Amino acid sequence: MKSEPLSYLPSGDQGPWGIYLEQVERVTPYLGKLKYWVDTLKRPKRILIVDVPIHLDDGTVVHFEGYRVQHNTSRGPAKGGVRYHQDVTLSEVMALAAWMSIKNAAVGLPYGGGKGGIRLDPRQLSPSELERVTRRFTSEIGILIGPKKDIPAPDVGTGQREMAWMMDTYSMNVGSTTPGVVTGKPIAIGGSLGRQDATGNGVFFTAAAAAEKIGLPIEGSRVVIQGFGNVGNAAARAFYDHGAKIVAIADVTGAIYNEEGLDPYDLIRYVAESETRGVRGYPKAEPLPAAELFAVPCEFLVPAALERVITEQNAHKVQTKIVVEGANGPTTPAADDILAERGVVVVPDVLANAGGVTVSYFEWVQDFNSYFWTEEEINQNLERVLREAFEAVWQVAQDRKVLLRTAAYIVAATRILEARALRGLYP
């Protein structure tokens, strides 16, 4: 008897979850005897959908829809961020949780995959309203989370502030200060040095590792970045500091271009002071139609925004040697095939943006031990972990003659399903 398909998603276009399932199908032929357990990867372990009602500042009551998904916990507690975005869906959160399972296993972290989200536009809420949303959401998902069960972290639309509120709410509910319940916290309450830039630094470390394999120097190379939040601006600074030239950057406000290169430090100051809080209007660059961003000639293209931005409709326009996926799921399977045919190396998200969860792991370990590392130690260990993971995936890709993404899934799925097989089924 075959397992029944999931009933709570449409049978047609399943959105981001459908992309994840296609990626699992591509790796299945390489799993050998572990194919027996492959349905484990296709079914989230636990899904919680919650109502999040709050009082707005004007006294009215509004309700938001929230999610927490635990995809797999065979290798350890669930780990994954919390996203605040107006387009959050169950399919998206399921896929993000599943990609976290793959990411943690590919890098070798002792975690499973989890993810959370609330369907709201954080720009439309005041700080006090966001605090009420965060605290109510934390209380609603409190039955799932915990430092040894499921550890949230920041994602799109959230940051240190929200993690502080989450940690405090959970601590008040359980009656003791529990720093390890979330990561990405402020330093003063158990956060880790190096966490803020960890994902962007990881993008650079994996990009440099890939560049070494094909003999491409970083110094003098051209870089195009989509997204200028924590990931995009940290990656831009890392490339810039190593002599690369940032020729184009885009965010939600628009895209800009300068053939001679952009100074990300100066751009960060502009964004902080501008009315739009974005890159649009930056006086030291030309405006660029957002649809043309991926067509800008470069050596490194870094999509660091949302999923499904490189598709079969625009993949043929991409003019780069290496795509480094700072975002989760930015490239569809069909686009993967087009890029491969054109000789473009794609460093998959489960490696490229694993810097954040890697330093989150370091933070979690430090919280348990109440002993904190220097930023130099953090960055050295981060680079070591990511380079070792990249080397292992690269070797599998060469041995099996597959794409880096498929190789990463072979490594990760093997680790997850070996753990499932060894643990067996209870009862």
The string of pLDDT tens digits covering residues 339-356 is 999 999 999 999 999 999
- What is the four-CA torsion angle of 349, 350, 353, 354, rounded to 10 degrees? 180
Domain with CATH 3.40.50.720 in the chain: 197-352
**Res 367 pLDDT > 90:** yes
- Show the tokens assigned to 86: 């107006």
SS3 118: strand
Query: Which residues, in sequence order, are CB contacts of 418 under 8 Å at separation 6+?
Result: 34
Which class for 357: exposed (0-12), middle (13-18), buried (19 or more C-beta within 10 A)? buried
Residue 226: band (very low, low, confident or very high) from pLDDT cuts 50, 70, 90: very high
Phi, psi of 24 (to 5 degrees): -65, -40
Omega before 427 cis (within 30°)? Answer: yes
* Per-residue DSSP letter, 220: T
pLDDT, position 380: 96
Q: Which ranges constitute the DSSP H helices of 188-332? A: 198-213, 230-241, 264-273
pLDDT, position 306: 83
What is the C-alpha to C-alpha distance for residues 361 and 143, in angstroms, rounded to an integer? 22
Q: Quick one: angle between helices 90-107 and 375-400, nearest 10?
A: 90
What is the C-alpha to C-alpha distance for residues 389 and 353, in angstroms, rounded to an integer? 12
Radius of gyration of the chain (CA): 21
Least Cα distance to 225 among 213, 237, 209 occurs for: 237
Query: Is there a catalytic annotation at residue 115?
Result: yes
pLDDT, position 276: 86
Question: pTM for the full model?
Answer: 0.94
pLDDT, position 183: 97
Number of residues that this document lists for the chain: 427
**Res 11 pLDDT > 80:** no
State the average pLDDT over residues 138-165. Answer: 96
Residue 397: band (very low, low, confident or very high) from pLDDT cuts 50, 70, 90: very high
Which class for 339: exposed (0-12), middle (13-18), buried (19 or more C-beta within 10 A)? buried
Residue 359: band (very low, low, confident or very high) from pLDDT cuts 50, 70, 90: very high
Mean per-residue pLDDT over the chain, rounded: 96
Domain with CATH 3.40.50.10860 in the chain: 44-177
Catalytic site residue from 79, 103, 115, 185: 115
**Res 154 pLDDT > 80:** yes
- Show the tokens assigned to 309: 């931005």
**Superfamily holding 44-177:** Leucine Dehydrogenase, chain A, domain 1 (3.40.50.10860)
Query: Which residues, in sequence order, are CB contacts of 272 under 8 Å at separation 6+?
Result: none
Least Cα distance to 257 among 217, 298, 220 occurs for: 298
State the average pLDDT over residues 67-96. Answer: 97
Q: From the options 1.10.150.120, 1.20.272.10, 3.40.50.720, 3.60.20.10, give the CATH code of 197-352.
A: 3.40.50.720
Which class for 149: exposed (0-12), middle (13-18), buried (19 or more C-beta within 10 A)? middle
**Res 75 pLDDT > 90:** yes
Neighbours of 64 (CB within 10 A): 18
pLDDT, position 197: 95
**Res 35 pLDDT > 90:** yes
Q: What Å distances lie between residue 330 and 63, 190, 192, CA to CA?
A: 30, 32, 28
Phi, psi of 347 (to 5 degrees): -85, 110
- Show the tokens assigned to 159: 């940051």
